[in-house]
A and B are shown apart, each in its own frame.
Chain A
Amino acid sequence: MSNADETIRDLPAGETADATARAPATTALDFLSVRDIRKSYRMGRQTLDVLRGVDLDVKKGEIVAIMGQSGSGKSTLLHQIGLLDEPESGEVYFEGDALPRRGNQAAAARSRLFGFIFQFYHLLPEFTALENVLMPAMILDDLGVWRRRKGEHKERAARILERMGLKERMKHRPKELSGGERQRVAIARALMNKPPVLLCDEPTGNLDRGTAEGVRSLLWELNQSDGQTMIVVTHDSSVAAQANRTLELVDGRLANTGSSNGA
């Protein structure tokens, strides 16, 4: 970690991640901080600036909702935070340390620090619910560790699924599960490696209202019981309304909507 970074942490923490926060030197770093993330896509001859210097600070145990119009770059921001994509510039900090952006180090950080939940669940159809949940551990462990800890992992995966109310569905393949059940398996999978941060991309976007509420309350319960930190990208204002903070992505920058309900 550089001296510059240490200086940053000593400065007072910025309450919001608004567009005025530019250089890392001007704001202190939080549990998870994003500084000046810029990302653009080439569309033929045109360049589309999707993220124009996004700053964000998330406290430990906080649920931050990010809203915005379709195509505003919400998912792109989530991918940047989760180290799935490389920005043109900017950094993601976890507990004050800048995270690697590429290669095996980025993959390792992704695997240990973040759990992804997607709108369309993205379960592996060839595997059972239990195997899907075990997959992050299979990716993180080498063969020796896996052999030693397989039983322990299986127990944990089963426990999480049980907590998700899927005790009877562990041996079922995704196609044998309902939408809500699939999303709960996806949540269980995201929790498998005990990631400090969950990144949820429209977690209720593909579910009917009742099921969506069930999935949301499950996530909020995780936050309440385990202090699980979450960044939730959503279109659903009722979901956003129950987050600790709601930010809106407008013109490639995050703006505070003013709602800070502390739920």
Chain B
Amino acid sequence: MESLPGPSWTSPYRWAVALRLLRARKINLISILGVTVGVASIIVVLAIMDGFQRDLRAVIRGTLSDVIVEIDPRELGYEEIRETVLALDGVKAMTLQRATFGLIQAATRDTDGARQNFLPVRIIGVLPEQEREVSRIFDFVKEAANQPEDVFRLDPPPMFAESTPHILMSKWLARRVGYSLYGRTMRPNDNFGLITFSESDKNNQGQATWAPNDRDVVCSRLYDSRNSEFDKLHIYVDLRSTVHDFFSSPDGVVTELRIKLDDYTQARDMIPRIERAIKALDPTGLAFVQGQTWEERQGPLLAAVNNEKVILSFVLFFIVLVACFTIFATLTMTVVEKTREIGVLRAMGATAPGILSIFMLNGALVGLVGAASGYGAGLYVASNVNPIREFLRDRFGWDIFPTDIYSFDYIPTYIDHRAALSFTLGAALSALFFAVIPAIRAARLDPVRALRYE
């Protein structure tokens, strides 16, 4: 017999039967919904985790520079170091920070009335015009200043002595201290007591003793880095004008160099060069010089956030897997229920690959429709997570994101479209993969047995 043109792989019945089975069987909706929820959850959670990661990095990086170098002893002249480091290729800017500890005098109110209380703070001395070039701390200052050094000035000058040290403090501290002293948030021009410690005379054994210095300081500006842990502890002063107030003693003062690079990706290569250059300035050769990138300094925190993201994605993909098992179960059930119809289709000329493609198409359609709606729903929720949060809070009194726990007063989101699309595609492919076994079972059905199936 001459060769007959066989049923083509493009025969329209495959699509017609697959689509009709999909529409007619309501249980397919459960499978589609499962994939939708899985994909949407992954996209939303990833967007929030990515948002957290990015904003947290931005916040942390804002108070740090590309590279931080700790130096001990501090007798090395700063100007000499600065000249040497800035001469290195790849170094864009550099500054010095000195830090010490102090106690802010506040008050605690309880049933017995107000009591003296102290808040420990880290006092950071900066060179404003140099600091501006390496970090973004001045970008966090609420009331703008024309020049960086203006952050530490008041116009008009304070009513009391102009020599009173001017402090840049966080909004958080301003609220905390302000309420205890003034019954309101502290404003620029408000003054408060700050206790620092300086070395005084040596005792009988020749050891240095420490004496508290209690002095008035004035708040010049407020900043808000959005990192509440940082804000609770740090106040800034102009190093030049306050060096004698706070940093007179070389002991108890930590000196750090803050360096900005032309290209941050080169940081790991640059650090040994910077360390070597500084060490070469020390005639004793014993100087302790250690450089770190800002990420290394905040390593555990950043790694923890990243790790959380990976674990959550992994766990959430199980939702998609469960949905895929639903597809598997549904299709297996469909194959059993439709055994006779499969036999009839074979009797009409449908081939085994044709039957296979009907059920593969069914699984693929469930996966595609589910993944696409999950993608859409995920993007919608991720883009509107803050309005949704406000709606839930205002309507039901349920705050899903208490701001006192986190560093942010909003839910940060960042949609990584490539990752979202990869997960969507992954879910659709998983659905197709789980359709393979039922589809093969359908294709391998003996048409005669299928027709006799009851």
Where the two chains meet, the residues of A that have a C-beta atom closer than 8 Å to any C-beta of B are 1, 75-76, 79, 82, 84-85, 94, 97-100, 103-105, 107-112, 116, 118, 120, 122-127, 131, 135-136, 138-144, 146, 189, 193
Q: Given A82-B347, A140-B349, does the pair A105, B11 have CB atoms closer than 8 Å?
A: no
Q: Which of B24-38 contact A (CB under 8 A)?
A: 24
A140 touches B3 (CB 8 A): no
B8 touches A116 (CB 8 A): no
Q: Given A84-B346, A126-B24, does the pair A108, B448 have CB atoms closer than 8 Å?
A: no
30 contacts between A and B (CB under 8 A): A79-B447, A84-B447, A84-B451, A85-B447, A97-B1, A104-B7, A104-B351, A105-B4, A107-B6, A107-B349, A107-B351, A108-B6, A108-B7, A118-B344, A118-B451, A122-B344, A124-B17, A124-B345, A125-B24, A125-B341, A135-B345, A138-B11, A139-B11, A139-B348, A139-B349, A139-B354, A141-B11, A141-B12, A146-B11, A146-B12
Whether B20 sits at the interface, judged by CB under 8 Å, is yes
Whether B343 sits at the interface, judged by CB under 8 Å, is yes
Once bound together, how far apart are the Cα atoms of A135 and B425, in whole Å? Answer: 33
Once bound together, how far apart are the Cα atoms of A107 and B348, in whole Å? Answer: 8
A195 to chain B, nearest CB (A): 10
Once bound together, how far apart are the Cα atoms of A99 and B400, in whole Å? Answer: 71
Whether B207 sits at the interface, judged by CB under 8 Å, is no
Residues of chain A with a CB closer than 8 A to B350's CB:
107, 139
A156 to chain B, nearest CB (A): 16
Whether B285 sits at the interface, judged by CB under 8 Å, is no
B11 touches A140 (CB 8 A): yes
Whether B340 sits at the interface, judged by CB under 8 Å, is yes
Most chain B beta-carbon neighbours within 10 Å: one of A126, A144, A146, A193: A126
Q: Of B341, B345, B447, B451, which one neighbours A139 at CB under 8 angstroms? A: B345
Q: Given A126-B24, A142-B8, does the pair A116, B347 have CB atoms closer than 8 Å?
A: yes
Q: Given A79-B448, A112-B4, does the pair A138, B16 have CB atoms closer than 8 Å?
A: yes
- Interface size on B, as a range, is 35 or more
Residues of chain A with a CB closer than 8 A to B351's CB:
103-104, 107
Once bound together, how far apart are the Cα atoms of A29 and B134, in whole Å? Answer: 98
A124 touches B344 (CB 8 A): yes
Once bound together, how far apart are the Cα atoms of A32 and B149, in whole Å? Answer: 105
Q: Which A-chain residue is minimally distant from B4 (CB atoms)? A: A108
B12 touches A138 (CB 8 A): yes
Residues of chain A with a CB closer than 8 A to B206's CB:
none
Once bound together, how far apart are the Cα atoms of A109 and B20, in whole Å? Answer: 27
Once bound together, how far apart are the Cα atoms of A122 and B12, in whole Å? Answer: 20
B365 to chain A, nearest CB (A): 15
Whether B429 sits at the interface, judged by CB under 8 Å, is no
B7 touches A107 (CB 8 A): yes
Residues of chain A with a CB closer than 8 A to B24's CB:
125-126
Q: Which A-chain residue is minimally distant from B9 (CB atoms)? A: A142
Residues of chain A with a CB closer than 8 A to B380's CB:
none
Residues of chain A with a CB closer than 8 A to B287's CB:
none
Residues of chain B with a CB closer than 8 A to A142's CB:
8-11
B346 touches A122 (CB 8 A): no
Q: Which of B424-454 contact A (CB under 8 A)?
A: 446-448, 451-452
Residues of chain A with a CB closer than 8 A to B349's CB:
107-108, 110-112, 136, 139-140, 193
- Other A-B pairs, 14, CB within 8 Å; known A126-B21, A139-B7: A1-B1, A75-B452, A84-B346, A84-B447, A94-B1, A105-B6, A116-B347, A116-B348, A124-B345, A139-B348, A139-B350, A143-B10, A143-B11, A193-B349
